[in-house]
Amino acid sequence: MDLNSSLAAISGIGPSLLYKLNKLNLNTVEDLIYHFPFRYDDFSNNTSALDAQIGESVTLQGEIWSISNIYTRSRKIITKAIFNDGTSPIELTWFNSSWLTKQIQTGDRLQVSGKISKYKNKLSIIAPRWEKIESLQSSAISRQTIHTGRLVPIYPETEGLSSKWLRAKITKLLPQITGKIQDPLPDDIRSTMICLTSALEQIHFPKTWEDLEKSRERLSFDELFYVSLATQKARLAWRRKPLVEPLKIKQSDLRDFIGKLPFKLTSAQHKVLKEILRNLVKNQPMNRLIQGEVGSGKTVVAAIAAYLVHKNNLRTLFMAPTEILAFQHFETLTKLLSPFEVTVGIYTGSRKYQVLSSKYYGKKQKTINTKYIIHTTIPDITIGTHALLSPKLSIENVGLIIVDEQQRFGVEQRTFLRKRAKVPHFLTMTATPIPRTVALTLYGDLDMSVIDELPKGRQIVKTYLVPERKRLDSYKFIAKKVAGGDQAYIITPLIEASETLKTVKAAKVEFENLQKVFPNFKLGLLHGRLKGKEKEEITHDFRQGKIQILVSTSVVEVGMDNPNATIIVIEGAERFGLAQLHQLRGRVGRGTKESYCLLYTSNTSGDDSRRLKFLEKTFDGLKLAELDLKIRGSGQIFGSAQSGRFEFKIASFSNISLLEKTKQAARDLLAKDPALDKHPLIKAKLQDIASEVMPD
């Protein structure tokens, strides 16, 4: 047995349990050992019933005097036992656990943990944890119990796979594999921390809170260290790439393009543009990330870069995560670049294997014909989705690759796109507010540019957390605004209703319900499962005003630009991070009209309400992302299931001192051993991590 052993090889784990384990992404012994608890129940207060205080969590040892199942009139089963620890009898109560009478018999000696309460003047514990004293195991971990009488680990679970089962399995596995775990960190790095073996033992079964903190620090260090090492190594590798021919930038071309824009660039846009130009005129390929608020003008800066690349007889590939966003970029760049005789094409799933472009008509070139025509030659700029990765698309002389919202793409996708050009300049953009600590760690291989200024005239979106009792009033407000010519978004977390998430709104259900609420208006439905052409038609009709209220999932988070939309309603707002809510809010306030964001929540708990209240008074995306980082952790910055970025199990970006410590340790190690040949265990581990963190 070792870390790479399949869980299928472990005695007692059959097909049914394997299926449940796979749902938690647990396939090997290593997966299970690194399946860390997310909290601990403190049952370390070993006392007696006589000394216990009401409401106190305690652990008691004693004997079962009686146990039986009671059937209520509503056909529910209650299991009751009388337990005595030698000082006082206590009633133990479990619900829907009739099988306990087969496991616990009268006369059994148990250790039980739970919260002491009083019912009808009798001491009681509801749903206590329990273990038979005679079955207590002696192991290399401790001679204590694992379910009671200690800090008891609580794990992420799935139906049919409880924390109790996970504790029992992990406590048997740890002694078998800890002797085979090699600590890859050199002595000088781990000198102030506990060893890896101890950290893994203590994260699951800590004897004290201090032990737990030491294990957290070591395991968090490992995660942050490997990511820092991967990003720094990638940065060094990028600098060693073959040199490119510096681009020739004529200031007259730049002045001509900027002068013909229908608006003035902000000082922040000018600053970022200068940073890009400094890259393009060097023989080192550019590798830069532009971060900026929704509507800050990142696309215009990218268009200028693509134009200058075109003036050097090179092409640009521009990849977006959704068709909605791809078509928006297509229209924007066509308007900006067609006057300069730069051809722009679109290549997506719904337009597969055809490169298409749009024709402009009229002397002033202000109107766009929405019909697409097959372009007879490869365009100067091709905008697309994942379809750009298709081997059937052949484009030569690519000098610039632009990726919008790069964290939404997997590593393999971004790597393959880079290979479309021999040595391309690489420009990525994101409107996702990323805290500085996160950016410097996850994107340490990139040069960072920030557009921290919005164009003049951008509206502050008035934001309100709407209590359920005011829902009907808010509907009347929406109806009044839409009747006056405005348009509205209504966003739901789900596409279809869920059995397990019964209170969470779903787009398809709300679309049907809201047609009754707003019978005088035209409603549209948009979500990720629609075909590309359907999405295109719906978004086109919404922009043209044919659809007045658009019911959608968060698929509109990026790419939807309708200046006439002034209201966005977000159902189940507590299910979104603050940064994501801020991006959704950015769908409105894009015109000159006063705009509103209404947040609905089915969760009335104080923590969620306080978190969402920040949106009412905070309009800085970076500040909101920092708040999310402190409140919800790093996993909430990009939302769930964002591909292509390493997912921490235990580390947090909010631990600034540990971040600095890991980055310095990575720098020191690479300075001594750039190829990591002297540290083969780290090199092997890094190859696995790097494949998740970033492309070659």
413 vs 603, which has greater pLDDT? Answer: 603
- Does residue 412 contact residue 374 with C-beta atoms inside 8 Å? no
Asked if residue 143 has pLDDT above 80, the reply is no
Asked if residue 435 has pLDDT above 60, the reply is yes
- What is the residue-averaged pLDDT of the chain? 84
Cα–Cα–Cα angle for 191, 196, 197, rounded to 5 degrees: 125
**pLDDT recorded at residue 84:** 94
Q: How do strand 315-319 and strand 398-404 relate by DSSP bridges?
A: parallel
- Chain segment 672-693, per-residue pLDDT in tens: 999 999 999 999 888 776 555 4
**pLDDT recorded at residue 604:** 61
Do domains 251-282+297-430 and 462-618 share one topology? The answer is yes
**pLDDT recorded at residue 413:** 58
**pLDDT recorded at residue 259:** 92
Q: How do strand 381-384 and strand 344-347 relate by DSSP bridges?
A: parallel
- Chain segment 243-274, per-residue pLDDT in tens: 888 999 999 999 999 999 988 999 999 999 99
Mean pLDDT over 657-661 rounds to 86
Cα–Cα–Cα angle for 14, 40, 217, rounded to 5 degrees: 100
Confidence of residue 51 (pLDDT cuts 50, 70, 90): confident
496 three-state secondary structure = coil
DSSP assignments along 627-651, one per residue: HHHHHT-GGGTS-TT-TTS---SS-
- Chain segment 196-249, per-residue pLDDT in tens: 999 999 999 999 999 999 999 999 999 999 988 888 887 887 777 778 889 999
380 vs 688, which has greater pLDDT? Answer: 380
**pLDDT recorded at residue 173:** 92
**pLDDT recorded at residue 270:** 95
Please give the Cα distance from 545 to 35 (Å, whole number). Answer: 50
Share of the chain above pLDDT 70, in %: 87
**pLDDT recorded at residue 691:** 55
Torsional sign, CA 365, 370, 373, 378: positive
- Chain segment 517-546, per-residue pLDDT in tens: 999 999 999 998 888 788 888 988 999 999
DSSP assignments along 6-19, one per residue: BGGGSTT--HHHHH
Mean pLDDT over 112-126 rounds to 90
**pLDDT recorded at residue 561:** 82
Please give the Cα distance from 155 to 146 (Å, whole number). Answer: 13
pTM for the full model? 0.68
Ranking 343-357, 450-464, 584-598 by mean pLDDT, the lowest is: 343-357
CATH architecture of 462-618: 3-Layer(aba) Sandwich (3.40)
Please give the Cα distance from 544 to 676 (Å, whole number). Answer: 58
Q: How is the chain split into domains, by residue range?
A: 39-154, 251-282+297-430, 462-618
CATH of domain 39-154: 2.40.50.140
Confidence of residue 369 (pLDDT cuts 50, 70, 90): very low
Ranking 75-84, 262-271, 366-375 by mean pLDDT, the lowest is: 366-375
**pLDDT recorded at residue 406:** 64
Sheet with 356-361, strands from edge to edge, namely 367-374, 356-361, 344-347, 381-384, 315-319, 398-404, 425-430, 287-292, 447-451
Asked if residue 14 has pLDDT above 60, the reply is yes
Please give the Cα distance from 194 to 95 (Å, whole number). Answer: 42
Please give the Cα distance from 87 to 50 (Å, whole number). Answer: 6
**pLDDT recorded at residue 633:** 57
Asked if residue 186 has pLDDT above 70, the reply is yes
439 vs 326, which has greater pLDDT? Answer: 326
Of 641, 642, 671, nearest to 232 (Cα)?
671
Mean pLDDT over 316-324 rounds to 88
**pLDDT recorded at residue 401:** 92
Of 440, 476, 475, 514, nearest to 662 (Cα)?
440
Asked if residue 645 has pLDDT above 60, the reply is no
Please give the Cα distance from 247 to 374 (Å, whole number). Answer: 30
Confidence of residue 408 (pLDDT cuts 50, 70, 90): low
Tokens (6 digits) for 204: 């699951």
353 vs 10, which has greater pLDDT? Answer: 10
The DSSP call for residue 5 is S
503 vs 44, which has greater pLDDT? Answer: 44
Please give the Cα distance from 38 to 602 (Å, whole number). Answer: 24
Share of the chain above pLDDT 90, in %: 44
Superfamily of domain 251-282+297-430: P-loop containing nucleotide triphosphate hydrolases (3.40.50.300)
Main-chain phi, psi angles of 584, to 5 degrees:
-60, -40
Q: How far apart are the first and last CA of the chain?
A: 33
Asked if residue 9 has pLDDT above 60, the reply is yes
- Chain segment 386-401, per-residue pLDDT in tens: 888 877 777 888 999 9
Confidence of residue 410 (pLDDT cuts 50, 70, 90): low
Confidence of residue 277 (pLDDT cuts 50, 70, 90): very high
Please give the Cα distance from 346 to 358 (Å, whole number). Answer: 9
